Structure 1
């Protein structure tokens, strides 16, 4: 999956999710995912547990995205993997992706960078009820070739998703 199309797809997914989260957080009605939707990780030593998590399925991939303010920046994390993933099989970044976008510092970190390493493991994939869960970890590098990287540990997700 290390190609420009996936990088563009990931960036567009992060941006679309940011817009979706921003719009849906303004609504007073209940979130479709309810209180059971979850995304969490330790990002660069900081706890990441966004209040709003969204999942989408498009063009053969499922993306789980959430955003939160961490010390000094607003951060959106996107976990992407094929909708044909085998349950409990570790996918490296040739087959899955992590992307992290920061808004105050305007950076994008991606598992598609050749220096990045890590994995995504899907533990639940229910296409009938559109539910997905799993875990992830890795070191992802600046998507535009900068020397900086972000360490993501103990990542987990559990949410429903919408197909587009």
Structure 2
């Protein structure tokens, strides 16, 4: 199925709008959380600091999504330099997503560890967070190194088929709940 350039432009514009909307909404909630924890409760904790870091990482993710779509994504690439530039931003986008989601999960785990009382619950939280960190970090490094250690040749290696197989891509995409284009 082929899409016209008008369809691709409209999809890119929609994705930019959605990205901006989610970024604004997430920062509203993060700032409300910080205000509540510092001004009302007067108990800013590690979970809040990690959530703030997750918000900053999510901002990098959203910026990279916006930049990829603003540059036409992959539909308006006219040179190898353009391809390489977009490829680097796609890597930033994917790794930004992975780190933001990992940090949100860590923040929630810290929060839950403050309110649970049973030792078995602490163990479940710590095991879950450890599995999340191992899983997220393995996916993070996979995204960066799936086409070799040289990011300058990433796009070329992708084109000539020197990257990992699609089955491995699908495994990590499914594992992290992300869609690989």
What is the TM-score when the length of structure 1 is the normalising length? Answer: 0.31
Higher relative contact order (CA 8 A, sep 6+): 1
Q: Which has the higher strand share?
A: 1
What is the TM-score when the length of structure 2 is the normalising length? Answer: 0.29
Mark the structure with the bigger radius of gyration. 2
Q: Which has the higher helix share?
A: 2
